[in-house]
Structure 1
Amino acid sequence: MSRRSILSFCMVPILVGISVPSPEAATVPDSLRVDGGAIAPAPARADGVRVYKGIPYAAAPIGERRWEPPAAVVPWQGVRSTDTFGADCMQAVNENSPAERPRSEDCLFLNVWAPAKSGRHPVFVWIHGGGSRVGSGAQPTFDGSAFARKGIVVVTINYRLGPLGFLSTPELSARSGYDASGNYGFMDVIAALGWVRRNIGRFGGEPGRVTIGGESSGSVTTSVMMASPLAKGLFAQAIGESGSSLRRAEPASMGATTLAFEEKRGTALMQDLGASDLAALRRVPAERVLASAARLANGQFYNLPVVDGHLLPDAPWRIFASGKFNDVPLLAGWNADEGSLTLLGPKRSFAQMLQATYGAEAGAVARLYPHAPGDDQAALVAAAGHHNIAYPTWLWAYAAARFGRGPVYLYEFDHAPPVPEGTFGTGFDVRLAGAYHGAEIPYVFDTLEAQQGWRIAEADRAVARQMNAWWAAFISTGAPGGEGAAHWPRYVPGEAARRMQVTEHPGAVPDPDRARFDGLMKVHAAIDPPLPGPPAPRR
Structure 2
Amino acid sequence: MIRSIARILVVAAALCGAQALAAAGPVVTAPAGALRGEALEGVNAFRGIPYAQPPVRQLRWRPPVPAERWEGVRDATRFGASCHQPPSRPGSIYAPAQALKMSEDCLFLNVWTPEGAQSAPVFVWIHGGALSGGSSSEPMYDGAALARQGLVVVSINYRLGVLGYLAHPQLSEESPDGVSGNYGLLDQIQALRWVRDNIAAFGGDPGNVTIAGESAGALSVMYLMAAPPARGLFHKAIAQSAYMITMPALREAVHGTPSAESAGVELARKLEIRGLPRLRAADPQELTVKAAMAGYMPLGNVDGKVLPAQLVEVFDRGEQAPVPILAGFNEGEIRSLRFLLPPPPADAASYEAAIRAAYRDLADAMLERYPPHDIDAAMLATTRDALYGWTAERLVRSQTALGQPAYLYFWDHGYPATDEAGLHAFHASEIPYALGTRDGTPPHWPAIPDTPGERALGDAAMAYWASFARDGRPVADGAPEWPAYGQARAYMGFAGTPRPGTHLMPGMFELLENVVCRRRAQGDQPWHWNVGIISPPLPPEADACR
Output the TM-score relative to the length of structure 1. Answer: 0.83
Task: Check 1:356–1:50 CA distance in 2 against 1; reply closer, same or farther (3 A cut).
Answer: farther
Aligned counterpart, 1:405: 403
The 5-angstrom pairing of residues 330-349 of structure 1 reads 330-343=325-338, 347-349=343-345
Mapped partners of 1:229, 1:152: distance in 2: 26
The 5-angstrom pairing of residues 465-484 of structure 1 reads 465-482=459-476
Aligned counterpart, 2:124: 125
Give the deviation of 1:31 after TM superposition.
3.9
Aligned counterpart, 2:163: 164
Q: 2:39 aligns to what SS in structure 1?
A: coil
Q: 1:126 aligns to what SS in structure 2?
A: strand
Equivalent residue for 1:38, pick from 31, 34, 38:
34
Answer yes or no: is 1:489 the counterpart of 2:483.
yes
Mapped partners of 1:322, 1:167: distance in 2: 28
Q: 2:507 aligns to what SS in structure 1?
A: helix
Q: 2:210 aligns to what SS in structure 1?
A: strand
Mapped partners of 2:367, 2:493: distance in 1: 24
What percentage of aligned pairs have identical amino acids? 35
Aligned counterpart, 1:432: 422
Task: Check 1:384–1:75 CA distance in 2 against 1; reply closer, same or farther (3 A cut).
Answer: same
Give the deviation of 1:241 after TM superposition.
0.1
Give the deviation of 1:43 after TM superposition.
4.5
Mapped partners of 2:158, 2:448: distance in 1: 29
Give the deviation of 1:355 after TM superposition.
4.4
Give the deviation of 1:358 after TM superposition.
8.9
Give the deviation of 1:240 after TM superposition.
0.3
* Unmatched tracts of structure 1, length 5 or more: 1-27, 251-255, 421-428, 533-539
Answer yes or no: is 1:366 the counterpart of 2:366.
yes
Mapped partners of 1:265, 1:77: distance in 2: 43
Mapped partners of 1:358, 1:84: distance in 2: 56
Equivalent residue for 1:319, pick from 309, 314, 319:
314
Mapped partners of 1:60, 1:264: distance in 2: 27
Give the deviation of 1:180 after TM superposition.
1.6
Q: 2:363 aligns to what SS in structure 1?
A: helix
Q: 2:511 aligns to what SS in structure 1?
A: helix
Give the deviation of 1:515 after TM superposition.
1.3
Q: 1:265 aligns to what SS in structure 2?
A: helix
* Unmatched tracts of structure 2, length 5 or more: 1-23, 89-93, 249-253, 526-546
Aligned counterpart, 2:268: 270
Tell me if structure 2 keeps the 8 A contact 1:236–1:328.
yes
Aligned counterpart, 1:394: 393
Aligned counterpart, 1:376: 375
Aligned counterpart, 1:49: 43
The 5-angstrom pairing of residues 133-282 of structure 1 reads 133-245=132-244, 247-249=245-247, 261-282=259-280
Tell me if structure 1 keeps the 8 A contact 2:370–2:381.
no
Q: 1:224 aligns to what SS in structure 2?
A: helix
Answer yes or no: is 1:303 the counterpart of 2:295.
no
Aligned counterpart, 1:7: none
Task: Check 1:153–1:33 CA distance in 2 against 1; reply closer, same or farther (3 A cut).
Answer: same
- Which letter maps to 2:332? D
1:184-214 CA deviation, whole Å, 9 max, x = no partner? 1000000000000000011110110100000
Tell me if structure 2 keeps the 8 A contact 1:88–1:97.
no
1:246-266 CA deviation, whole Å, 9 max, x = no partner? x3259xxxxx98996111110
Task: Check 1:505–1:131 CA distance in 2 against 1; reply closer, same or farther (3 A cut).
Answer: same
Aligned counterpart, 2:287: 289
More displaced 10-residue stretch of structure 1: 466-475 or 512-521: 512-521
Aligned counterpart, 2:458: 464
Answer yes or no: is 1:498 the counterpart of 2:490.
yes
The 5-angstrom pairing of residues 15-26 of structure 1 reads none
Mapped partners of 1:531, 1:207: distance in 2: 43
Mapped partners of 1:92, 1:356: distance in 2: 36
Task: Check 1:64–1:352 CA distance in 2 against 1; reply closer, same or farther (3 A cut).
Answer: farther
- Which letter maps to 2:500? A
- Which letter maps to 2:517? A
Tell me if structure 1 keeps the 8 A contact 2:247–2:302.
no
Tell me if structure 2 keeps the 8 A contact 1:244–1:396.
no
Aligned counterpart, 1:4: none
Give the deviation of 1:417 after TM superposition.
4.3
1:152-180 CA deviation, whole Å, 9 max, x = no partner? 01000000001000000011112212222
Task: Check 1:149–1:395 CA distance in 2 against 1; reply closer, same or farther (3 A cut).
Answer: same
1:244-293 CA deviation, whole Å, 9 max, x = no partner? 33x3259xxxxx98996111110012223333221221001112211321
Mapped partners of 1:457, 1:483: distance in 2: 19
More displaced 10-residue stretch of structure 1: 203-212 or 509-518: 509-518
1:289-332 CA deviation, whole Å, 9 max, x = no partner? 113212221xxx43211110000111122222222221000000
Mapped partners of 1:178, 1:358: distance in 2: 45
Aligned counterpart, 2:510: 518
Give the deviation of 1:394 after TM superposition.
2.0
Give the deviation of 1:463 after TM superposition.
1.1
Mapped partners of 1:508, 1:483: distance in 2: 15
Q: 2:439 aligns to what SS in structure 1?
A: helix
Mapped partners of 1:148, 1:524: distance in 2: 40
Tell me if structure 1 keeps the 8 A contact 2:463–2:475.
no
Tell me if structure 1 keeps the 8 A contact 2:124–2:212.
yes
- Which letter maps to 2:403? R
More displaced 10-residue stretch of structure 1: 387-396 or 309-318: 387-396
Mapped partners of 2:430, 2:467: distance in 1: 17
Give the deviation of 1:347 after TM superposition.
4.1
Give the deviation of 1:483 after TM superposition.
6.5
Aligned counterpart, 1:445: 435
Mapped partners of 1:413, 1:310: distance in 2: 36
Output the TM-score relative to the length of structure 2. Answer: 0.82
